[in-house]
Structure 1
Amino acid sequence: MAKTREELQALLDTLREQVPALVREHTDEGDFWSNFAGASDFILDDAGPDDFEWALEQINAMLAANGKAR
């Protein structure tokens, strides 16, 4: 069952707080993307069809804010 937008927002907020540390700790690009994908895919998997694009936009924004735009 898909999570509510509020539940997704809480997960996104946690990930947003973790991204700077992931960037610092995983200087190898492959290492970073592997770790980030594990966390972000978990969130996207829990997003329903109405919230998927919204969650993806937030994830892309946090990547851009940390110099990791796709």
Structure 2
Amino acid sequence: PSPIDLPPGCRFHTRCPRKIGEICAEQEPPWQDVSDHHRICCHIDLDELRTMQSEVIAEKADTLREVR
């Protein structure tokens, strides 16, 4: 998105693969602390995001094994 004309809600909702519905387009997401110097804004709970990421990594590993 344009830094001078941000969309309402989450600034990434138009291209986010994890968009969960209209909440993303209508409400700005809360900040979540990932580590000491890393924060994110997302409507999805951090633990759920971590689970989703683990599943994506596992799927990609399976795909790589099939290709080899």
| TM-score, normalised relative to structure 1 | 0.31
Higher share of residues assigned helix: 1
- More relative contact order in 1 or in 2 (CA 8 Å, sep 6+)? 1
